[in-house]
Chains A and B, each alone.
Chain A
């Protein structure tokens, strides 16, 4: 290819860019039109009528579901970030078979299908009096989120050394001082990314919320699932846009802001 692109390569690049643009824009546009389209039947390319009734629920049930989802996902992000930090760091210090066993254990909650995790765990959550409560849903979401965060921090701590912390400790700093003054500031960006990952795991969860929340905790993905199964595409589309547009904006700004892709290879 060299430094100057050949004409064929340019055409290929443009084609690829267009395909990527379509793959991002078409779903967004499709959902946007569906969110206000009424009586939109095959083979019409545009709706025959429009209605803002689904958008009006932003001030009602969909708005409340979005608030519930945001609150739960923020707590899950923080909890799983903290847990993952500790666990990932502990696993990173292991060598040999214990490292593999521990890493495999941490991976289990991500690998287990949420439906299996939910059916198996529903009994315990109810036994603890946590079924149908936001706290129960938070803890249930934290299981896969903490697994992901642990693996993420395992990756982070596998490639970094602890010299700075050791130095601080030899200079007489107490363990919590090392943690607060050295370790956490040094990994600020990674901690933020782990919290974002935990947020997203919780933000998109359906089966666990359904089983542990018992419908009493109505999150945004649950509302979308329920609407689409009831044939209410307009309402489902509004919920879907609420689910994807804010995180995409945040991600886009973060990527443009740091001018580089976030490193989250697990």
Chain B
């Protein structure tokens, strides 16, 4: 027996060696920024970049796996390793890695925005600054407040924009030929059609609630310029009043809330409810193509304004391969990668580049990029786009919604 125990201990020791005996620490942001870009590219050659990203959409996966990855390998000799993780999971992973002093860590690139960025930045879990030095950063539409500010925060070089989307409701043109187009009209519609409207208890549902809060408060202005308790108090009081009014007419009398937007889509597609929603106005068309939503499903903008935001890529504080991550981020910003991503048949994710500053060749391509006739016209998207506000609003809203609505008395 003693022999076997010694063997077990040897196995543990071996595991420790394998785990801890890793390569020298990766270069710091300052060290890398001292290098010319060409040297960064050279350092990245032959490496692997691990990218934590949401992997739930086959269209996005196909773009990343079958378009981006082979080009990275062919052009830069970089092997892309994608890992399924979402905002809170990414934050959690890095928090625990730091506590366990895991340097270098496991992840290089992170797909993030909003409160995930705010928390990562606040906790010092992001590498940087680096984004400004990417050669393709010169094309970024920095004049757009949607892109240059992430939930009102200055990315300050700690994340690089990747795409932009806008919140939209989803309805069925056959079931609801004349849908409500304002928050007030939506309330009347809900009251007139008991049990046919729902929102989820995850990120998308909370964005919907923020949209309603803006509308009831005369727009986004009262909430801008950082978190203010008074603005939140009056805005959330109006929102919860509105929710109290419509609650009995919501799906399951407002007693149950779908766990995520996928569950909402499932209910909408199967005629349990008449609306779904998405943070990406083009998501509905992708889902129609995938056969998840009915062919007559369309996006719908509320004229009180809907929230537009950008999503970004950041680099983990303990990234084993920051140079490779930068090269990938730069490639994601390239006109060809942004153009491919915006094709309706690929992903239909909005570009973050200022198209008018691109070389003529690319400008023409973007301008002639076929628009899906079912998609929302660009000018109305721009007209109704409202920026995000400080992430604290969302955190407070989530906690209060949970207490007052989800667990509320009935």
B is bound to A: yes
Q: Contact at B102–A129, with CB atoms within 8 Å? A: yes
How far, in angstroms, from A130 to B100 measured CA to CA in the complex? 11
Q: Does A41 contact B (CB under 8 A)?
A: yes
Find A123's partner among B96, B269, B287 (CB 8 Å cutoff). B96
Q: Does A259 contact B (CB under 8 A)?
A: no
Measured between beta carbons, the chain A residues less than 8 angstroms from B46 are: none
Measured between beta carbons, the chain A residues less than 8 angstroms from B58 are: 53, 232, 235
- A123-149 toward B: CB 8 Å interface, digit per residue (1/0)? 110111111110100010000000000
- A77-114 toward B: CB 8 Å interface, digit per residue (1/0)? 00000000010000000000000000000000000000
Within 8 A of A (CB), among B67-126: 83-85, 89, 93, 96-97, 99-102, 106
Q: Contact at A229–B18, with CB atoms within 8 Å? A: no
Known: A49-B291, A222-B84. A41 touches B56 (CB 8 A): no
Measured between beta carbons, the chain B residues less than 8 angstroms from A129 are: 16, 18-20, 22, 102
Q: Contact at A232–B56, with CB atoms within 8 Å? A: yes
Q: Contact at A86–B4, with CB atoms within 8 Å? A: yes
Measured between beta carbons, the chain B residues less than 8 angstroms from A226 are: 55-56, 84
Nearest CB in chain B to that of A79: its residue: B11
Q: Does A202 contact B (CB under 8 A)?
A: no
Find B100's partner among A123, A215, A227 (CB 8 Å cutoff). A123
Count class of interface residues, chain B: 35 or more
B residues with a Cβ closer than 8 A to A are 1, 4, 15-16, 18-20, 22, 50, 52, 55-58, 61, 65, 83-85, 89, 93, 96-97, 99-102, 106, 259-263, 265-266, 269-272, 287, 290-292, 294-295
Known: A129-B20, A218-B84, A230-B56. A42 touches B106 (CB 8 A): no
Q: How far is the CB of A149 from chain B (nearest CB, A)?
A: 15
A residues with a Cβ closer than 8 A to B are 37-43, 49, 51, 53, 60-61, 86, 122-124, 126-133, 135, 139, 214-216, 218, 222, 226-235
Q: Contact at A231–B262, with CB atoms within 8 Å? A: yes
How far, in angstroms, from A32 to B295 measured CA to CA in the complex? 23
Nearest CB in chain A to that of B99: its residue: A123
How far, in angstroms, from A32 to B162 measured CA to CA in the complex? 37
Q: Contact at B100–A131, with CB atoms within 8 Å? A: yes
Measured between beta carbons, the chain A residues less than 8 angstroms from B96 are: 122-123, 126, 131
Q: Contact at B84–A139, with CB atoms within 8 Å? A: no
Known: A128-B16, A214-B85, A215-B85. A51 touches B56 (CB 8 A): no
Question: Which 6 residue pairs across A and B have the least CB separation, nearest first?
Answer: A129-B19, A230-B56, A231-B262, A38-B291, A126-B100, A42-B270
Q: How far is the CB of A48 from chain B (nearest CB, A)?
A: 9
How far, in angstroms, from A133 to B97 measured CA to CA in the complex? 13
How far, in angstroms, from A40 to B247 measured CA to CA in the complex? 30
Q: How far is the CB of A99 from chain B (nearest CB, A)?
A: 18
Measured between beta carbons, the chain B residues less than 8 angstroms from A229 are: 56, 259-260, 262
How far, in angstroms, from A158 to B83 measured CA to CA in the complex? 46
Measured between beta carbons, the chain B residues less than 8 angstroms from A39 are: 291, 294-295
Provide 8 A-B residue pairs closer than 8 Å at the C-beta atoms, listed in order of the A residue. A41-B294, A53-B58, A86-B4, A123-B100, A126-B97, A226-B55, A227-B56, A229-B56
Measured between beta carbons, the chain B residues less than 8 angstroms from A37 are: 291
How far, in angstroms, from A122 to B99 measured CA to CA in the complex? 11
Find B101's partner among A60, A127, A232 (CB 8 Å cutoff). A127
Measured between beta carbons, the chain A residues less than 8 angstroms from B101 are: 127
Residue of A60, A124, A215, A234 contacting most chain B CB atoms (<10 Å): A215
Q: How far is the CB of B178 from chain A (nearest CB, A)?
A: 22
Known: A41-B294, A129-B16, A135-B15. A214 touches B93 (CB 8 A): yes
Measured between beta carbons, the chain A residues less than 8 angstroms from B99 are: 123, 126
Q: How far is the CB of B332 from chain A (nearest CB, A)?
A: 20
Q: How far is the CB of B183 from chain A (nearest CB, A)?
A: 26
Find A51's partner among B1, B19, B65, B291 (CB 8 Å cutoff). B291
Measured between beta carbons, the chain A residues less than 8 angstroms from B295 are: 39
Measured between beta carbons, the chain B residues less than 8 angstroms from A130 are: 15, 19
Measured between beta carbons, the chain A residues less than 8 angstroms from B16 are: 128-129
Measured between beta carbons, the chain A residues less than 8 angstroms from B15 are: 128, 130, 135, 139
How far, in angstroms, from A226 to B65 measured CA to CA in the complex? 17
Nearest CB in chain A to that of B66: its residue: A60
How far, in angstroms, from A234 to B289 measured CA to CA in the complex? 13
How far, in angstroms, from A204 to B97 measured CA to CA in the complex? 26
Q: Contact at B57–A230, with CB atoms within 8 Å? A: yes
Measured between beta carbons, the chain A residues less than 8 angstroms from B20 are: 128-129
Q: How far is the CB of A50 from chain B (nearest CB, A)?
A: 9
Q: How far is the CB of A179 from chain B (nearest CB, A)?
A: 10
How far, in angstroms, from A85 to B287 measured CA to CA in the complex? 51
